[in-house]
A = this chain, B = another copy of it.
Amino acid sequence: MNRGYNFSAGPAAIPTEVLERAQEELLNWNGQGCSVMEFGHRTPEFGQLLEQTEADLRKLLHIPNHYRVLFMHGSASHQFAMVPMNFLAPDDTANYLEQAHWSKKAIQEAQNFGNIHVQQGFQQTEEGLAIVPESDWQLDEDGKYLHFTSNETIVGVQFKKEPKAFAGKLVCDMCSDILSRPIDIEQYALIYAGAQKNIGPSGMTVVIVREDLFEQMQTHRVPSLFQYPLMAQHKSLFNTPPSFGIYLASLVFEWLLERGGVETIEQLNQQKAQLLYDAIDASDFYHSPVAKDSRSMMNVAFTLSDPSLDSAFLLQAKEQGLLALKGHRDFGGMRASIYNAMPLEGAQALVDFMKEFERRA
């Protein structure tokens, strides 16, 4: 099989052009006579790579100067602990929206480190799963922050805009939609995103955090590598960084800038999602479990009206190079993740296959 269209939710597709570039220079990066994986992180050349990577991300997301950008080891699940460890003094409280899978994990982890006020974020409506209207939320106004997941990867539920509550004090798990559309950074205290959807390989997490918050952050029994202020002070080089991940991210950011940045890719992402949701809505054979207003542009979940056809669907899709369409084990059905790296032709190929599969069923 050649490269297929990869609908994996994560680790997810990386642009083919990026992988080709990485392949070309895998044994000899930047004329250095060795791979970027084999290269000292305290060299001027790596320093320049890191600076350029940060500059490109700042450009893509219009990150103001009073926010710091950190390239951290590990993944979003580390941040589930890191956020409350840094933000919450012993008697502090934080607000968390509960939204299906990932935010539950974030809540569970946070409860080890502080008082967590939970507000239900999702509800079942006649139209399907939906975000609870903000007017119905009851938050602890003294909370240090409000944590939410901008895009719930498992079922494909996405906020269209930032919540209005806790403006400037939002903490966001943006794993599965960062860089897919413009955001208003100033609404956030902190954003984190594991790399393996729209950034690069797993094992690295990008954090964007407002610098003036450092003053109040906790350090007692917080591992050095978990302390945001210390990481910022060392410009992500407190220790050996995940250098290959940073390198891959730099290529992905470059790729995105060459294609017009986040504003342009958003339009493409809308088109891809529209193609799929239209096909799902137009047929009784396929069904979206999510209410229209809450549907994700990144993860399109759907079920077959006859679940006994699921495995045939997956098998035939794979035969046509349409990969990793199986839904999350907690949800079942199908899920087409169409992050930035998925071209329009990939979404179209899936729609064509879905129609053909229905016709023959």
Contacts and interface: CB of A to CB of B under 8 A. Distances in A.
B244 A34 contact: no
A329 B4 CA distance: 47
A100 interface: no
Interface in A226-275: 226, 238-245, 248
A182 interface: no
A78 B8 contact: no
Contact of A224 (B20, B35, B81): B81
A37 to B, nearest CB: 4
A65 interface: no
Interface stretch (A130-138, A165-173, A197-205, A294-302): A197-205
- With most chain B CB atoms within 10 A of its CB, the pick from A40, A85, A113 is A40
A315 interface: no
Contacts of A324: 34, 40
A44 to B, nearest CB: 12
A359 interface: no
Given A33-B323, A244-B244, A225 B28 contact: no
Interface residues of A, number: 71
- With most chain B CB atoms within 10 A of its CB, the pick from A16, A31, A32, A200 is A32
A125 interface: no
Given A194-B240, A203-B203, A33 B6 contact: yes
A292 to B, nearest CB: 28
Contacts of A9: 40
Nearest to A24: B23
16 contacts: A2-B33, A3-B34, A6-B33, A6-B38, A8-B34, A8-B38, A11-B39, A16-B27, A19-B26, A40-B324, A73-B73, A77-B224, A81-B225, A85-B223, A202-B240, A244-B244
